[in-house]
Amino acid sequence: MKNRINEIAHFYNNKLTLSTDRIYVFLINFNLFDSNDFIELLSNNEIERAGKMKSSEKEHQFIIARGIIKKILANTLEKEPYQIELLYNQHGKPFINEKYNNYTIEFNISHSGLYGLIAITLDNKVGIDIQKIKPEIDIEALSNRFFSDDERNELLKLAKNKQQDAFYLGWVRKESFIKAIGLGVSYGLDRFSVPLNKKESANVVVSNFENKKWHCFDLMEFRNYKTALTTCANNIDIFISQ
């Protein structure tokens, strides 16, 4: 994988040159935005969904992330943001019907704590995940519930002080995969395995899903966050805007 950092000032005001061999990733610091600046871009259905979030923080994240993705897509498609209609499959993954040079625009959104991630590409299914590390969680209980046998065995072989890092690395990789295939947790997190060690790229082990190989990429580590991206494309450039 070719991984290049490309800082794009005012990223949602730029027109992207989308490509099948390129993925744009945007890191959002929610503290830099006001959800009131984006609320008018959301549909009535999205405003209703935002209002049902478990906390004001999550509502704030939802509105900003959807507003930014609409601005990015609108500039790229030469439309107004209110003209971008985000649709959702039965498992909640957003998509749009508009094409770009006759290709399907694929994108994904994730947010946790103070930060969010957006990934956009063409014609390659993509999933992205960011997780804030919470030291108080019960790693053993969660891994017993959601990890595969191989992953649990790998985790248990590690020293106690290494397990939290490995758990979260595996968690974001697994989440990015189930988001990439568009099935979410309904697919079953224990049905496939990802490596729990630090590698730039690792194939996700899945039994014959859509007859494709899926590739997991570690994007960045900062403060108390882990991130990962999964796509069915391997030789691809990833541009990260921070």
Going residue by residue through the chain, which has 242 residues, state the pLDDT in tens, using 9 for 90 and above: 333 333 333 556 678 889 999 999 999 999 989 999 999 999 888 899 888 888 988 899 999 999 999 999 999 999 999 899 999 888 888 999 999 999 999 999 999 999 999 999 999 999 999 999 998 889 999 999 999 999 999 999 999 999 999 999 999 999 999 999 998 888 888 888 898 987 656 777 676 677 888 888 888 888 899 999 999 887 888 888 87
Task: Give the integer Cα–Cα distance in Å for 14 and 199.
Answer: 32
Task: Give the integer Cα–Cα distance in Å for 83 and 70.
Answer: 9
* This prediction's pTM: 0.89
pLDDT in tens, 35-55: 999 999 998 888 998 888 889
**Are 150 and 174 in contact, with CB atoms under 8 Å apart?**
no
pLDDT of residue 82: 87
Task: Give the integer Cα–Cα distance in Å for 172 and 230.
Answer: 10
> Both tokens of residue 36?
């009131």
pLDDT of residue 12: 65
pLDDT of residue 11: 58
Domains of the chain (ranges; CATH) run 2-241 (3.90.470.20)
Answer positive or negative: Cα dihedral of 65, 222, 231, 25. Answer: positive
pLDDT of residue 128: 96
pLDDT of residue 115: 93
H or E segment to which residue 145 belongs: helix 139-146
> Both tokens of residue 94?
């957003």
DSSP three-state, residue 167? helix
Q: 139-146 vs 149-156: helix axis angle to the nearest 10? A: 150
pLDDT of residue 207: 62
User: Which DSSP letter does residue 100 get?
Assistant: E
Q: How far is CA 200 from the centre of its chain?
A: 17
**Are 221 and 169 in contact, with CB atoms under 8 Å apart?**
no
